[in-house]
Structure 1
Amino acid sequence: MPKQSKVGWVVAGLLIALFVGALDVTVVSTAMPNIIADLSGTHLISWVFTIYTLTTCVATPIFGKLTDLFGRKPVFTIGVVLFVGGSILCGFSQSMIALIWFRAVQGIGAGALNPVCFTIVGDLFAGEKRGRMMGVFASVWSVAGLLGPLVGGYFVDQVSWRWIFFINLPLGVLALILVLGFMRETFEKQKKSIDFAGAAVFTVAISALMYALLSGGDKYAWDSAVIIGLFVVSALFLFLFVWVESRVKEPMVPLSIFRNRVMNVSNLSGFLAFSITAGVTIYAPIWIQTVLGHNATNSGLTVMPMSLAWPLASNLAGRLMYKVGMKATVVWGAALVAGGAVWLSALELGSPYWFWVCILSILGFGMGFISNPTTVMVQSSVGWEMRGVATAANSLLRSLGQTVGVAVFGTIFNHFVGTAGAKEQMTSGMHAIFVLMLAIAAVHLLTVAFLPPHRKVMAQQVS
């Protein structure tokens, strides 16, 4: 259990660690043309991002359980060391193959950083303070999204693309010094039982699923033997994983958390809502360029309203959820997302640019009212000994939602564009995607309606 810590310094260290991981996602995209020019291997470019996503998703729940077994500080240390070590190796890469392998190491480290940072915040704060701090930490992703292209562009233009990775070393060391130096944590010394079988089976299941989703419709056709085989393998190993978890002494993912209504609804909410935002982030710039004729810079700035509205709403939700009710806050957010999706599905060829500004602001505001309260509810519905795995499970479902959304939306888009490359076909493809987003938003609104009333949520809260 955590003892009294110098909270301000610990929070600063956690923010730095989370910022480093969030920043990496955007700076690599900015530097990619220069990396290709230096290392070649254009045909491998997608793997630089795919391998990072895959290893992050696999590692997240494993580290979440290790956080509960061995404490927050050891896992935080492992995460930072792996991420920073992988970053340094990426900076020294002499081939695209090497860069891909080192990105895999980075992804494993990132799989520890995100859940353990939010878990420590859940430990340090309770009640309304926890809600407010979650809003602050949610802002890190938006700040990183805004600064990423600027930071990446600066290093690429003024120094070298390699420094987008090397800069993680001093920041990671600073984060370690602050958290390890000022966070006080006592842990009961007893023999721990590690679920190696569950971790191994889960790794195969999620790896097969993620590879199928990331490769389907691109490297392989969705109806190819490879993709179908991967889905079958994933399903079989997920079934085996449930069987293993029901029998081991200390399961990696205790099945009891799936009997928790708050957990189930919050995780499904994360899966559905984050699939929408992933699609909007990809297809909004495409619409701005192909339909409205704006340049790449303007299309890139299109998602900025969502990046600004999201943390603003997260902070506001952190202050309101204990006053107006957690369920009411999430339902309001889901209603905003559904409203934004209605407007999105009604876009026409002649719709003006400011429509997008309004739509993305509404979506970002709605997501802020969804993501923050659901994170707090998930953490508060379990005790300290399960908070790490609960947070990790929620994070994994959100990542899976993004991946599945991108795969499904990409398949729909490619179907329309594959018939012809004209603007009309691209527009039809995006409109079909927006209609599907509306359907998902409607299902999401119905889903969060099943959250228990605020009174019951508060009664289940564990500090």
Structure 2
Amino acid sequence: MTKQTNIVPVVVGLMVALFIGALDVTVVSTALPDIVDDLQGRSLISWVFAIYTLTTCVTTPIFGKLTDLYGRKIVFAIGIILFVLGSALCGFAGSMVSLIWFRAIQGIGAGALNPVCFTIVGDLFTGEKRGKMMGLFASVWSVAGLLGPLVGGYFVDHVTWQWIFFMNIPLGIVALVLVNGFLKESFEKKAKKIDYWGALTFTIAVSALLYALLSAGEKYAWDSPVIIGLFAVAIVFLALFFLIEARTAEPMMPLAMFNNRVMNVSNLSGFLAFSIVSGVMIYAPIWIQSVLGHSATSSGLTVMPMSIAWPIASTVVGRLMYKIGVKTSVMLGSFVVIIGCAWMADLQLDSPYGYWVGILVLLGFGMGFITTPSTVMVQSAVGWQMRGVATATNSLLRSLGQTVGVAIFGTMFNHYVTTGSPVELVDAMHVIFVVFGVIAAANLLTLAFLPSHRQVMAQQAS
């Protein structure tokens, strides 16, 4: 655990690390047209993002476990160095294939940044302070989402696209120096047993699952032998993974975590809630541009109200959750998300743009009230020795929710849309928005199974 730490520089370093990881997605999206013009390989464009998602998801729980075995500092250093190295290589990429491989290295580094940063925050702060800091750190993602298009546009217009990657180098060095220079930690040093077979089977299972989800409906049909085979591989190796975890002395993902009701509810809620977020990020801009006829720039900025409301709500609930109750906070957030989804499902062809602003404010507010208390509960439900893997598992389930959501909603959209007319688009998205509402209702029902506020608070000592 940490002791005698100069907190301010560590917090700044962690926020810088989170910022460059969060900024990367929106910056690359903005610069992608110029990257494709320069490197060619338009057919590979989706893999610039897919490979990053895949390697991040695979390595997140592995790094989470390593933080519990070897401490936070060393794993943070490995993560930031890999991310910076991958960024530098991306900047020097001479082809789309090499860019994809270097993005994979970036994604591996990113797999450490998010869970390790939040784990360190969980170590440094307890109780109500932890809630406040989680709210503050959640705002980093939203600020990055707002600045990403501006930063990416500036580098593309005034410098070169390579600098969207090169800018990570000095920021990464600053984060590394601040965190590793000022974070003090001590833990029992003993022989460590790394769960290599667990890591291997987990990597194969998740890689097969994600590749199937990212390829189904586009590159391959859902019922094609390739997709069915990938799902079969995922199931077999996931079963092997759990068998190994049940028998190994130091499992990568201790199955005891899944005996904890707070962990199970929070993880399932994260999966459900973030699947909605992924859908909104895709279909809100489509509605604004293709149905209302707004510009691409306007549609691209559609999610800004959610990006603003989310950190505000996260900060507010970080201060309120210990007063009104943790369970009350997350259920209130889920109820607000249901209202936002119901409003979406009621949109008509001639509904004004202002409706979307209101909807996205509601969704951002609701998600802020869900995510911050959930993260705090997950970290407080386990001791220091499992906090890293617990945080990483929660992060993994949220990422899987987004990936599964994109795949399912995309299949539904393609099923209903054939001509692309506004009326057809509205009908297709109405179906998807109704599904959003069903998922939001399932999330509320899931959160109802949380223990009472008093029982949750009894776990907040560490």
TM-score calculated relative to the size of structure 1: 0.99
In structure 2, what is the Cα distance between the partners aligned to 1:462 and 1:59? 29
The alignment partner of 2:93 has SS state of coil
Secondary structure of residue in 1 paired with 2:257: helix
Residue number in structure 2 paired with 1:67: 67
Match of 1:51 in 2: 51
Partner of 2:436: 437
Q: Distance in 2 between matches of 1:444 and 1:274?
A: 10
**Paired AA for residue 290 in structure 2:** T
Equivalent residue, structure 1, for 2:382 = 382
**Structure 2 letter corresponding to 1:158:** H
Superposed CA deviations along residues 73-103 of structure 1, whole A, max 9, x for unmatched, are 0000000000000000000000000000000
Describe the superposition over 1:339-383 as per-residue Cα deviations: whole angstroms up to 9, x where unpaired.
111111111111111110100000000000000000000000000
- Cα distance, 1:4 vs structure 2: 1.2
Map of 1:397 onto structure 2: 397
1:233-252 matches, cutoff 5 A? 233-252=233-252
Counterpart mapping for 1:175-194 below 5 A:
175-194=175-194
Structure 1 range deviating more: 182-191 or 193-202: 182-191
User: In structure 1, what residue type is equivalent to 2:200?
Assistant: A
Deviation of the 1:462 alpha carbon: 3.9
Distance (Å, rounded) in 1 between the aligned partners of 2:375 and 2:358? 26
Structure 1: how far apart are the matches of 2:255 and 2:80?
Answer: 29
d(CA) in 2 for partners of 1:345 and 1:233? 37
- 1:303 is matched with 303
For residue 213 of structure 1, what is the aligned residue in structure 2? 213
1:256-335 maps to which residues of 2 (within 5 A)?
A: 256-335=256-335
1:7-26 paired onto structure 2 within 5 Å:
7-26=7-26
- Asked if 2 retains the 8 angstrom alpha-carbon contact of 1:382 and 1:462, the reply is no
Give 1:197's aligned residue: 197
The answer on whether the counterparts of 2:198 and 2:252 sit within 8 Å (CA) in structure 1 is yes
Per the alignment, residue 372 of structure 1 pairs with 372
Give the equivalent residue in structure 1 for 2:163: 163
Moved more, 299-308 or 190-199: 299-308
Note the alpha carbon deviations across 1:303-357, whole angstroms, 9 max, x for none. 1110000000000010000011000000000000011111111111111111101
Conserved? CA contact 2:126–2:460, under 8 Å: no
Per-residue deviation at 1:35?
Answer: 0.5
Q: Is contact 2:262-2:377 (8 Å) kept?
A: yes
Partner Cα distance (2:345, 2:249) in 1: 49
Structure 2 residue identity aligned to 1:395: S
Letter of the 2:178 partner, please give it. Answer: L
- Superposition pairs of residues 25-36 of structure 1, within 5 angstroms: 25-36=25-36
Aligned residue for 2:86, secondary structure, equals: helix
Alignment of 1:350-369 (within 5 A): 350-369=350-369
Match of 1:143 in 2: 143
- What one-letter code is carried by the residue in structure 2 that aligns with 1:29? S
In the alignment, does 2:452 pair up with 1:449? Answer: no
User: What is the alpha-carbon root mean square deviation over aligned residues?
Assistant: 0.7
Question: Letter of the aligned partner of 2:426 in structure 1?
Answer: T
Write the deviation string for residues 257-312 of structure 1: whole angstroms up to 9, x where unpaired.
00000000000000000000110111001001111111111111211110000000
For residues 421 and 77 of structure 1, the distance between their equivalents in structure 2, rounded to whole angstroms, comes to: 48
**Cα distance in 1, alignment partners of residues 346 and 443 from structure 2:** 19
Q: Is the 8 A contact 2:349 2:422 kept in 1?
A: no
Structure-2 residue corresponding to 1:346 = 346
Contact 2:127–2:461 (CA under 8 A) maintained in structure 1: no
In structure 1, distance between residues paired with 2:428 and 2:259: 39
Total equivalences in the alignment: 462
What's 1:253 paired with?
A: 253
Partner of 2:110: 110
Moved over 4 A (4+): none
- Please give the TM-score of this superposition, normalised by the length of structure 2: 0.99
Hey, what does 2:424 align to over in structure 1? 425
Is the Cα contact below 8 Å between 2:64 and 2:391 reproduced in 1?
yes
